[in-house]
Amino acid sequence: MIEPSRIGRGVAAPATAGALLLLLVGTCLTGCSTYVERHRLLRDDLAGGDFDAALEVIDEGAKGHDRLLNLLESGLVLHYADRWRESNAVFEEAELLAADLYTRSISQAALSLITNDAAIDYRAKPHEMALVPYFRALNYVYLGERTGALVEARKAEIRLREWMGAAESARASGEADPVLENNAFLHYLRGMIHEWGGETNEAFLAYRHAALAYADAAGLLATDTPPWLGADLLRTGRRLGFDAELDALGRQLPGLLPDSQADPGETGEVVLFLETGYAPYRESNELDLPIFANDDFHDDYDAWALALHGRYLHGWGGYGGKIAYWLRIAVPEFVDVPPLVAGARVSSGTVGGQARTVRVEDVAGRAARRFEADQDNVLLKTIARGLVKFAAQEKAEDKSKLVGLLTNLLGAATERADTRAWLTLPHGICMSRLSLPPGVYDLRVDLVDGHGRSVGEEVVAGVRVRAGDWIFLSRRVF
């Protein structure tokens, strides 16, 4: 450390500038919260059912730019803690904040060009916000508030319409991605809730959207069309007299509709959602790109960024020339750790009361496709930011070697990839359905791995089934 008494007048100004730069470094690094590391602290608390401790970890690590993530994480932990009304209040605040964040970004975008993307407010991805109505609807179900669950189903429909409307322009430009445009699981969920709430027409339309969306995602996501969906369509369609619509759907999706409609008799429908594992996370991966002595892009940063983007993708062995500078950048790396539990066998202990779960939502697959779709833009922006820092260092060195050095240190210290995401989400959601006579049941849930081998067991006790009613249940395997 330099003692104050040894600082001469000639270096007083650079030292002050250096102090300011180091203060900015500290501020930026504080803002760039190690979100992935913080999330790892939650896992033991969640697995052990210590939800109060998990909420403390979330609150202690929350920063201004992570406000939306803090709300989403808290809402989900409160859901698992059976604090359903509090969970819905927090999720509602998250939805309002998410909408507001898309209206204010200019000043923060400018800041991100001299620090990193974590210096701006986190804006949740569509596949993340799509699951908020799922958790909120379940909260209302558990509270016994059917009207609230139906409101969430209608809100989900509005959100899906917005996405599908935006997808029309993407299709026209040839940039459509059926996985990112739509969400089959959300359609199917709202279909079941509408039918449970006596809204048959809305249920049929939602089921039809779900069938088409699952077909579009075939081979792109690790999901299967739920085997009950065809019977749901046939039942609601015939109830409404939609024979022509059913015939058209049968031609469009052969094999979807059953040949006949079974008489449900005096039974109730039990729906069990099984959420497994954790969503993928991101790590910050640092790398260097060469700036050659004969690079001459002047102030055309777009052209310069595109050139370095090409060097990142294709290498730079054929460029030749003397390397004048190594540009340090940090890009996110996608890390996916599949869970041990892949599904379950569910049994009510009665004849015919058994079912296997089906994977109805692939959270990890959607996250991977979103990451891939965004990666080019993220890389170009990261390179452009690195060039801005490089230019600032060059100009600073013209004035003072010390200021140039500190500017370079600032650029390196603040270069960190944005690794934020809603990480307490499950890796995927499986589902089973049982049609059972009225009564009270203890459901045995035999957890299995990808090879069908038993890896654990849970019991959902005291499930009361009423004729003609729907029972919605969910379990999370951390």
pLDDT of res. 312: 82
For the segment 369-384, the average pLDDT, to the nearest whole number, is 88
For residue 122, which phi and psi values (nearest 5 degrees)?
-70, 130
pLDDT of res. 314: 79
More confident residue, 248 or 265: 248
Are 435 and 267 in contact by the 8 Å Cβ rule? The answer is: yes
Please, where in the chain does CATH 1.25.40 lie? 133-140+154-262
- Average pLDDT across the chain, whole number: 83
Tens digits of residue pLDDT in 350-361:
988 999 999 999
Buried b (16+ CB within 10 A) or exposed e, 390-421: bebbeebeeebebbbbbbbebbebbbbbbbbb
For the segment 408-422, the average pLDDT, to the nearest whole number, is 69
Statement: residue 398 has pLDDT above 80: no
pLDDT of res. 202: 97
More confident residue, 98 or 34: 98
DSSP 8-state symbol, 255: T
As a whole number of angstroms, the distance between CA 151 and CA 48 comes to 33
DSSP 8-state symbol, 266: S
What order do you get walking across the sheet with 358-361 strand by strand? 358-361, 428-436, 268-276, 470-477
CATH topology of domain 133-140+154-262: 1.25.40
pLDDT of res. 167: 58
pLDDT of res. 20: 43
pLDDT of res. 161: 84
Burial of 297 (0-12, 13-18, 19+ CB in 10 A): middle
